[in-house]
Every structure is written in structure tokens, then in C-alpha cells.
Amino acid sequence: MKKLIALLCLALATSVFSGVPKIILDSDCLSDWDDVGALAILHTLADQGECEILATVACTVDGVSPQVLELINSYYGRPKLPVGCCRKGCSVWRQGHGSGHIKFTKLVAQYPEYVHTQSPLQYEDAVSLYRRTLAKATDGSVTVCSLGFLTNLRDLLVSGPDMYSPLNGRDLVAKKVKLWVSMACNYPNGKEYNSKMDPEASRVALADWPTPIVFTDFQYGRHLYTGRRIAESDAHRSPVKDIFKDSMIPLDQVTPTSWDQAAGHPSWDETAVLIAVRGLDLYNLERGTYRMVGTEGDDEWVADAKSPNCRVTEKTPLAEVGKIIDDLMCVGPKPAFPVRRAIPAPKASADLAWVDAAIARFAENYTALLARTEREATHESQYPRSCRKDGSITYCKDWDWCSGFFQGSLWYLYEATGEMKWRAAAEKYSDLQAHIRFSNLHHDLGFMFLPSAGNGLLLTGEAKYADWLHDAARTMQTRFRPSMGAMQSWGYWGEAWKKRYNAPVIIDNMLNLELWMWESENPPTGEKTRERDWLEGEIFREMAEAHADTSIGLLIREDGSTCHVADCDKVTGKLIRHLDGQGAGHWSRGQGWAVYGYAMMSDYLGKQSYYDTAVKCADWALAAANLPEDGIPYWDYQAPNIPDEERDTAAAAVLGCGLLKLSAQCAQKGDAVRAARYREAALKIAKSLSSEAYFAKPGEIGGFVLKHAVGSKPDKAEVDVPLNYADYYYLELLMMLKR
């Protein structure tokens, strides 16, 4: 007899578990939170190519149940996955019933970005969704996995022909469904929760279902504990983590008889999903019939070697099965974009141990700056920009060109340390800034969004950051003037700015071009395509290339020094005049923008003229007559009162980043001498900035890191003060060395 049962079970596994399962999930998503764990592993298995999810269906009339399905589907990157809702429901379970309703309503409220349906009537009728999905499916291809009441399945079986299929419900199931996996049954008898809640529906569904059924009964899942790992993980903004963390008994309250144990919560629903996708290899099976007896929800299991149905019992130790479930539950959503960097970043090499020490000190300062910002920042001015001589912090508005650097530094600290507090803060301040991506008041959307959304995308893969970059790139293109072959910097379109300029082109914009270059390599596709879908990647590359070419002629002198501003005629594009802008003729930060910007463009396009320009500008900067021994330049290389002029740590940090990037390119081109020279110069700058002369003690300048930066000396603005972009590029330089 045992041999016969084994052969029958083998036949079952062979016939219904072949190929990639196509799953319809039917869940109450209300009475217990293991439904969420089951959904999590189902989506993870789908991400891994082990199954295809056809639809998700709620089996209660409580409006929060389909919302939870929509929430988890959207969280895992499947917002269009169909969600069905039970229209009638069982007689016991009604809208707003029990503590589960309260917990899941709270969960939905925590994630409004994932739930857009407010009423259960807005979801498709469960039976209609079943029939529509089955009618489109290949014959004998669908696995139904039910985690809750059997109301929907009874209603499906008794349904009549409709617009989707001429078959009645039972015949449609027989034709399209190969297997039903049900979290039901209480061996050997009792009142299993999912079955007893709608006993009449359970009686009909269990008696009339025309294909094989695998039952994962109450007793098996009761002693299989999972979920503690996800509850105590460092997963950030995860509804799966939140529901387990908020619902499970704390460890210090666990007793031998409590539902939750040290390893977690009973895994009834997770077991059903695992079987529906991966089959029966982990389990022993017993053939038999599960049925309802009487009208009060009583049930019984009757062993029957000839039955097409079976229930699972333990074969693989429960702890091993639990580890599989926990591993899948902890994977999280598959990023829409790949995460490009290790978190935390590896330690720096032994000869650069000082880099890790400097980053640790940076984090200490920014802990204080973040705390102060949380206390002081207002809705109007949210981002710390500088610190006055009296110790008060200046905050900038979201449209300010400096509005992205603070969160950029927070993102780098998250990358460096892996500490979730930095990510949470970076996300908060990036989210606050997001709406300004549609403003074209000036040219600096690259400076504003590459440090914030750009780093957020690299470190999380979250699609929202890509959306912001797409929008910002399109907004910035409105400032491109074909007549000039360049982007106009300041001023409203068609107007002179403060009557000082006509159509200015400035050296700073060489760094803003990276936003267009990113867009050229990552054009939005499919549902992400905006109305202006004619703005494809090639157009952004052409605009960036044109601007870089134009800037070589307008802003790079023959000797490799740079001019800050070229004012042009807005109609013809012809040069009207050169202006010193924020410099005195040889502005040091502008020189850094040129080195870094052309090295960046050379990286993207491999164009020799960009490489040559970066080299020429770098050689001029390093050979400048007034460059101090420590590598930190004056605010202008030829300021009139050197040595009695302010240094500029911001200019040094930007130049250091450019030199390090250019050094790698020189090495690739076989110019070992220049490669070594530029790297040594970048190292000198980084070490100098890390010294007491420039690196502030904790609290010394409000939490900022670098002292002695200069915004605009000619305008008497932000002279010899800390600046958030000085800190950002300094930390970027450290991270480049660390990587």
C-alpha cells in the first residue's frame, strides 16, 4: 500500500507540477498577516522566473482586503496585476470585522503611493476576474492557490456562461485548472478556520472541484515558524516587514504555548504558496478526501489511496523549510533599475585607511547637522546650505541650485556605512525636493537632482528616482537654444536676467550636462514614456554634445584656463562679451567644473576633444603660479591680493573629483605619467581637506564639514564659510578613492 501511495504521489507531482506555474492567488488578506508573507514569497518567486502571477483575488467583502493585495502587488513592481474582490462574502465576515481590519487599514494608510483604489466596488468582481483569466489561459495550465475562505471558488463553480466563456463554472475549471492548492483542512477533524467561516461555500467547493487538490492543513503550518527575520531586518519602508513587526508577539513575551515563537509566526499561507510554485519535494503526502460535515463548519479528513487529492505532512525538517520561506520573504522587490553600488561600500585599501577615518568623522559632523536641520528647517527653507559667522545655519529653498547637495551627502553616507538612518533621511529630503523638477527657472536641475535622485537611483534602484530624472532632464531641455548650440543659464525664457545678461552660457553647466547624458542612455519606455515621447535619448545626447562643443569655443582659453560667463545674443547665438562672473578672471571653481565636466563627457562619449580639453584644463590648474603647496587654491587663481585672499575648499573638492576621474582615463589611454600625476594631485587635495586646517571639529560650524569655502567673492556672498556643495564634492572624492 505504501508503495502504491508513493507511486500515485509521484504521478501527481509529475502531472501538475511540470512547467512554470501560472498562479491565481485567492486570499482573505485580513484575518492574519501570513497572507502578506505568502504574497511576498509569491512575488519573489515570480521575480526569479519560477512562476507567473495571473491575478490576485480577495475572498472577503472587507474593502481593505483588495487594497492589501494592490499594495503588495505594487510594492513588488506589479501595479497592473489584476485584483478581484468578493461581492457577497460569507455570513460571518463583514466590513470592518475584528483586529485584522484595524492592522491592515493602518498598513494601507502607511503606503498611500501604492494604493489608488478607495472602494471595493472599484475592484473587479472576483468571479468575473476568475472567468476572464481562465478563459484566456491555455487549457490545463492554471494553479489556483487559496489562502482563505472558499466563497469565491464556490461562486466560480456555480457560475454560468458569460461574455468570457460559454462554459459553466465547473466545466471552465475542469478545462483550464490543473491544480488547486488550498490552505484548509484540520487533520483528522475539527473546525479549520478558512473552511468554517463560510461552511456552505466550503461544502460545495470541496465536493464539486473537478481537478486535483493539495491541502496544507492547519497542523502542518501551526508548527512551522517564520517571519521574525523580516520583522527584525533592516529592510527600509517595507510593508512586509511592517505587518510582521507590528503584529507578532515580542520575543520577551513568547511562551511554549503562544502562537508566535522565537522563529516567528505559524506559516500556513506561506506553505501553500511554496507548494503551488515549487511542488511537493519537501513533503510527505497522504491521499484522501477533505469534506465538510454538518452545517456548523465541522470538517474531517478521510484517508483514501484512490483519491486524486492529498494533504502534506512533514518530511524535510520544519526548520529547513522555514529557512527557505524566510529567505524568500527577505528578498524584497526586484529593483526597476539595478543597484549599482555595494552597501556598505568595502573598506578602503590599507594605504587609504585615512579615507575611512575621514568618512567616519564626516558622519559624526552630519549627525549633528541632520539633527539641527530636523529642528530648525521650515517648510519654505528645508536644506542646510551654509553657516554664518555667528553659528546660525542658512537654509535654502527647493528651487535653489544647492537644494540637492545635502541629501546627496546623506546618500553617500548610506553607501559608506549601510546605516538606515542615512537612507531614511536622504529619502525624506529627496522626496521634499521632487516637485521642483518641473521648474525651469534656471539651468541647474542637474546639480539639484543628480546628487539626490541620481544617487537614490544608484543605491536603491527605485523607479521613482528615474522618473524624477526623466522629468528634470525634459524640463532642462527647455533652456537649450539651437541658435547658440548651448543651454541658456540664468533668466526666464526670452528675457534678460536682471538686465545683466542676454543669453549667458557658463562653465558650471558642464556638470549639469550629466543629466542629459544619463537620459540619453536611459530613455523612458513603455508606460514610463511621457507625452513628449519624441524627446528620445539621441536628442539629449545631441544637446549635451552641442553644449560641450560650444563651451570649448566660448569658455576655454587657449592656455587651458577658463572664463566663467559668455553672454550671447539670444537670437543669433553670437558672443557679445565675456564676463568674470564669480571670479576675477581665473575663477578656481570654474576651473574645477571644466576638468570634471569634460572628463565626465569623455567618459560617456569617448570623444577625443573632450579628453584633450579636460587634460588641458587640468594641466593649467596644477601649473598655476599661485597654487598653494597644499593644493587648495585661492578663490581665484589670480586674485588681486594673494596671499591675502581666501582659499576655496569647494573649488578644491570639485577639482579633486575631476582629476581622479581623468587619471583613470589617462591610464586607459596608456598615459601613465599623467595618470599618476593627476591621482597624486587628487590625493593631496583629499588629504589636505581632511586636515585640521580645513576639516571642522564636531559642532564647530553647525555640523558642516569643510571650512573656508567661497561662494561669490565679487558679490560678497558666502565668503570663507562652509557650503553644502563643498562638503558634497569632498565626500564624493573620498567615496571615489574608497571604491
pLDDT over threshold 80, residue 9: no
Whole-angstrom distance, CA of residue 196 vs CA of residue 202? 8
- Reported as type and span, the H/E element at residue 219 is helix 218-222
Cell of 660: 581622479
Cell of 420: 538606515
**C-alpha dihedral sign at 105, 110, 111, 116:** positive
pLDDT over threshold 50, residue 579: yes
Q: pLDDT value at position 441?
A: 83
Q: Given phi > 0 = left and psi -120 to 50 = alpha, else beta, which region is 199?
A: alpha
pLDDT tens-place string over residues 48-62:
999 999 999 999 888
pLDDT tens-place string over residues 685-714:
999 999 999 999 998 999 999 999 999 999
Between residues 234 and 203, the one the model is more confident about: 203
pLDDT tens-place string over residues 587-628:
999 999 999 999 999 999 999 999 999 999 999 999 999 999
Q: How far is CA 691 from each of CA 109, 361, 388, 685, 687, rounded to the nearest angstrom?
A: 48, 11, 22, 10, 6
Residue 529, φ and ψ in degrees, nearest 5: -65, 130
Give the other-Cβ count within 10 Å of 470's Cβ.
Answer: 22
Q: What is Dmax (Cα atoms) for the chain?
A: 101
- The mean pLDDT value for 650-660 works out to 98
| pTM score, whole prediction | 0.75
CATH ID of 2-329, from 3.40.640.10, 3.30.1200.10, 3.90.245.10, 3.40.50.280 = 3.90.245.10
Give the range among 409-423, 511-525, 572-586, 713-727 with minimum mean pLDDT.
511-525
Enumerate the H helices of 177-215 as residue ranges.
Answer: 193-196, 199-208
| Cis status, amide bond into 333, omega within 30 of 0 | no
Whole-angstrom distance, CA of residue 671 vs CA of residue 664? 10
pLDDT tens-place string over residues 283-338:
999 999 999 998 888 999 999 999 999 999 999 999 999 999 999 999 999 887 88
Contact 479, 493 (CB under 8 A): yes
Rg of the chain over Cα atoms, rounded to whole angstroms, equals 32
% of residues, the chain, pLDDT over 90 = 82
Spans of all domains in the chain: 2-329
Whole-angstrom distance, CA of residue 183 vs CA of residue 510? 60
| Cis status, amide bond into 79, omega within 30 of 0 | no
**C-alpha dihedral sign at 341, 344, 347, 353:** positive
Cell of 66: 483588495
Q: How far is CA 412 from each of CA 186, 205, 332, 467, rounded to the nearest angstrom?
A: 53, 56, 22, 21
Whole-angstrom distance, CA of residue 289 vs CA of residue 304? 7
**C-alpha dihedral sign at 439, 440, 442, 445:** positive
Output b/e per residue, 186-210; b: 16+ Cβ within 10 A. bbeebebbbbbbbbebbbbbbeebe
Q: pLDDT value at position 10?
A: 46
Predicted confidence band of residue 99 (pLDDT cuts 50, 70, 90): low
Q: pLDDT value at position 537?
A: 67
